[in-house]
Amino acid sequence: MRLVYIFHSGYVIEADGFALLIDYFKDTGVSPVEGYVHDTLLSRPGKLYVLSSHFHPDHFNPEVLEWKKQKADIQYIFSRDILRHKKAKAEDALYLMKGEQYQDENLKIKAFGSTDIGISFLIEIEGRFIFHAGDLNNWHWKDESTAQEVAVAERNYLNELELLAKTTPHLDVALFPVDPRLGSDFARGAEQFIHRIETGLFAPMHFGERYNKLLPFKQYAQERGVPFAGWTEKGQSVDI
What string of DSSP letters covers 73-112?
A: SEEEEEEHHHHHTTSS-GGG-EEE-TT-EEE-SS-EEEEE
Domains of the chain by residue range: 2-239
Annotation: CATH topology of 2-239: Metallo-beta-lactamase; Chain A (3.60.15)
Give alpha helix (H) positions in the chain: 36-39, 80-84, 147-167, 188-196, 215-223
The per-residue pLDDT for range 60-118, each reduced to its tens digit, is 999 999 999 999 899 999 999 999 999 999 999 999 999 999 999 999 999 999 999 99
The per-residue pLDDT for range 2-25, each reduced to its tens digit, is 999 999 999 999 999 999 999 999
| Residues 142, 156: Cα–Cα separation, whole Å | 15
The per-residue pLDDT for range 162-186, each reduced to its tens digit, is 999 999 999 999 999 999 988 888 9
> What's this model's pTM, rounded to 2 decimal places?
0.96
Residues of the chain with pLDDT > 70: what percent? 99
| Residues 12, 50: Cα–Cα separation, whole Å | 9
